[in-house]
Homo-oligomer: A and B are copies of this chain.
Amino acid sequence: MKDNFLNYNNYVSVDCVVLGYNEVENKLQVLLIKQKGPAPNTAELFKPQYAIPGDLIKEEESLDEAAARILEDLVNVKGLFLEQFYTFGHPDRVKDPKDADWLSTRRKDPLARVITVAYLALVRIDQINPSAGYFAEQTTWRSIKKIPKLAFDHNTIVSKALDIIRAHPEQHLVGRELLPNKFTLSQLQNLYEVIQNKELDKRNFRKSIKNNEYLITLDEKQKGVLHKPAQYYAFKKLKK
């Protein structure tokens, strides 16, 4: 529970759509939290909902910093790819009765309108260790194909994030964020296939990807696999 409301701007929040890639199952999932109820003695009246991680911004932080802070608090990982993608500001977006209980325990002014700036983050599921923070009972990964009903307008926010990453996968440096430091071209192809939700031809995929200026061939192959070992590749470091 927050100690006080003083450091927070009560009218603007940041919500983060964290997309996680499970390489083994080749699945894209979204990180959800389950809301934590109010004080224990009234807990039986509270119906927790799933939501994406988000919080009011603090007065002294920028939006980008707020997004990073929220992810760090919840996901316990720094340095993630993080990008603002849209701001949601319908006057009634926090006025649904289903959300009133939660707001009443978390907000200085539970009826206040809140505009939320939405961010997109990409992570490898095996790389992070989500742990429930003060605003969550638990965290969970859910397939982007089976997203439950979420608090507030979070279903809308997640949908918009998926639209955006599908429209511009390269721009979003998907491979860099969602694959290990060294990877095979088959791994890269699997990732592109799950994001675009369609199969790609191996030969054509390799032809096009090898024009990518950020891809470098390593001096290393797979070992111990029951088939021809694949070449490892990596991404060049980005200049800051």
Question: Could you tell me if B115 and A89 are in contact, using CB atoms closer than 8 angstroms?
Answer: no
Binary contact track A85-108/B, C-beta < 8 Å → 1, others 0: 011011100000000000000000
Interface residue tally of chain A, by bracket?
10 to 19
Q: Are B90 and A87 in contact (CB under 8 A)?
A: no
Binds B, one of A30-38, A59-67, A134-142: A59-67
Q: Which of B59, B62, B90, B113 contacts A59 (CB 8 A)?
A: B113
A89→B11 contact, CB < 8 A: no
Compute how far the CA of A56 lies from the CA of B12 in the bound complex, rounded to whole angstroms. 13
The residues of B that contact A89 with a CB separation of less than 8 Å are 12, 57, 62-63, 117
Say how far A58's CB is from chain B's closest CB, in angstroms.
9
Contact flag A91-B11 (CB < 8 Å), given A84-B86, A115-B117, A117-B115: no
Chain B residues within an 8 Å CB radius of A113:
9, 59
Residue of B nearest to A171 (CB): B167
Closest chain B CB from A7 CB (angstroms)? 12
Let me know if B63 and A87 touch, CB within 8 A. yes
Bound: A117/B12 CA distance, A: 11
Taking CB atoms, residues of chain B closer than 8 Å to A84 are 86-87
| Residue of A11, A59, A61, A89 with most chain B CB atoms under a 10 A cut-off | A89
With the chains together, A9 CA to B115 CA distance in Å? 10
Shortest distance from the beta carbon of A113 to any chain B beta carbon, whole Å: 6
Q: Which of A63, A91, A113 has the most CB of B within 10 A?
A: A91
Q: How far is the CA of A11 from the CA of B62 in the complex (A)?
A: 14
Bits for A68-90, please: 1 = Cβ < 8 Å to B, else 0.
00000000000000001011011
Partner of A11, one of B12, B86, B87, B90: B12
**Which A residues between 30 and 50 are near B, CB-CB below 8 angstroms?**
none
A91-B117 Cα distance, complex, nearest whole Å: 15
A117 and B61 form a contact (CB under 8 A):
no
Q: How far is the CA of A87 from the CA of B57 in the complex (A)?
A: 14
How many whole Å from A194's CB to the nearest CB in chain B? 25
Residues from chain B with a CB closer than 8 A to the CB of A62 are 89-91
Q: How far is the CA of A12 from the CA of B91 in the complex (A)?
A: 12
A residues with a Cβ closer than 8 A to B are 9, 11-12, 57, 59-63, 84, 86-87, 89-91, 113, 115, 117
